Amino acid sequence: MSNRAGDAGALWGGRFEGGPADSVAALSRSVHFDWRLAAYDIAGTRAHIKALHSAGYLTVPELEKLDRSLAQLLERIQDGSFTAKPSDEDVHSALERGLIEIAGSELGGKVRAGRSRNDQIATLIRTYLLDEADHLENLVLQLIQVLTDRAEENLAVAMPGRTHFQHAQPVSLAHHLLAHAWPLSRDLERLGEWRNRARLSPYGAGALAGSTLGLDPHLVAKELGLSGPTQNSMDATASRDVVAEFAFICTLIGINLSRFSEEIIVWATAEFDFIKLDDAYSTGSSIMPQKKNPDVAELARGKSGRLIGDLTGLLATLKGLPLSYNRDLQEDKEPVFDMVDTLSILLPAFTGMIATLTFNKNRLELLAPAGFSLATDVAEWLVKQKVPFRDAHEITGQLVSYCEKNGLELHQVPDSEMAAISKKLTPEVRDVLTVTGSIKARSGAGGTALPRVIEQISALRKLVSKGAGE
């Protein structure tokens, strides 16, 4: 009897008199992108045959031969001597063909009992993403470490803090840099929470309703390093919320890089002149010899859009699928594969850019008090003199208006003119009209004062150390 799996690299065929049309075969084929799951498929199969043996469907010699055959197949994949053929529909059919070539059709043909491609791929995408999550976590930790290092180097440097991209209040450069580290730390928290949901194994769900063969899904889960089987076989094969959640976290990482990139791009302009980019992390112009372009930041900004597109496409695929498995789910893999590849390239380059750029400290400190950024300090000083904040806000606004009309900064207003605006503006107000004093005074939880910044650095270093230890 013809074995379509062995002959043509497919896992079905007996019910059909012929194979699919060429166009259908081309449409169905996924092996060109899901081949990266080959090692995970083999790991799943090695766990599965142990369950088959435990349930009495394989003898010890059969189990041992299959395990050796699978190990040999993995070696052939790794050295390139076994690859997918155009006739292989997907990674699963290709690997079954490879196993049959080594173990023989009779023994190799026993392996498929008690499982479906549906529960296979639902498990494999989880084990793959769990490994990639570890990889991405390490890259994000490296960036957090660099941000923390750069913050510690610049504890005493002041800069203009902004809201609405307008001068708002002075902050320390260290505080600003750490404000980009904390969102990344929350991305790592999300990855940790995601792992708890991803570590459940759909193996044993079969096509949708489970198996009648009495295989132990707990055994398979344990062999794969997962915490246990999923609770519902239909949900196990049909749901990809775990994949979508991973994609969301990747997108957030990209968005966090993009937000910082916006600042890097602006800071590098002649108008701002806050930073100088290292030659190794910038590019030149093909026509303008003087140019140094912030390409890493621009590419980070662009690739964040790509990540958003991957996530959106995945969600659009999932939104209309009835229970249980549908072939649409073939489209769940390429988006996250692209996300993993994108962040794997982007994060090291972005980290290198931050590690090597030079801050123009004089420029930053010169502009720290610009735009009347100490006005809030004046208003809060008045509050401390028992002035209601509504009145303090009005008085300070009048002081700013006077400065604008007369081309003065806040600290340049004569005592007599301050008193004319309000008798509450006594000469003692000058104690808060310094950038250093403003920053020092903001010592509440999460503030920009030095003790609070040092606390942040300590907390982030513990996070990096814990992550590196895991």
- Which residues are known to be catalytic? 164, 285
The structure tokens 């349930």 sit at: 55
Phi, psi (degrees; rounded to nearest 5) at 266: -70, -45
Are 160 and 170 a contacting pair, CB within 8 Å? yes
CA distance 299 to 66: 47
The structure tokens 């076989």 sit at: 233
- Ramachandran region, residue 13 (left: φ > 0; alpha: ψ -120 to 50; beta: rest): left
Distances (CA, A) of 118 to 142, 203, 237, 378, 436: 37, 9, 6, 66, 63
Residue 450, Cβ neighbours under 10 Å: how many?
A: 16
CA distance 315 to 335: 10
CA distance 214 to 400: 79
Q: Concatenated DSSP letters for 348-409?
A: HHHHHHHHH-EE-HHHHHHHTTGGGTTHHHHHHHHHHTT--HHHHHHHHHHHHHHHHHHT--
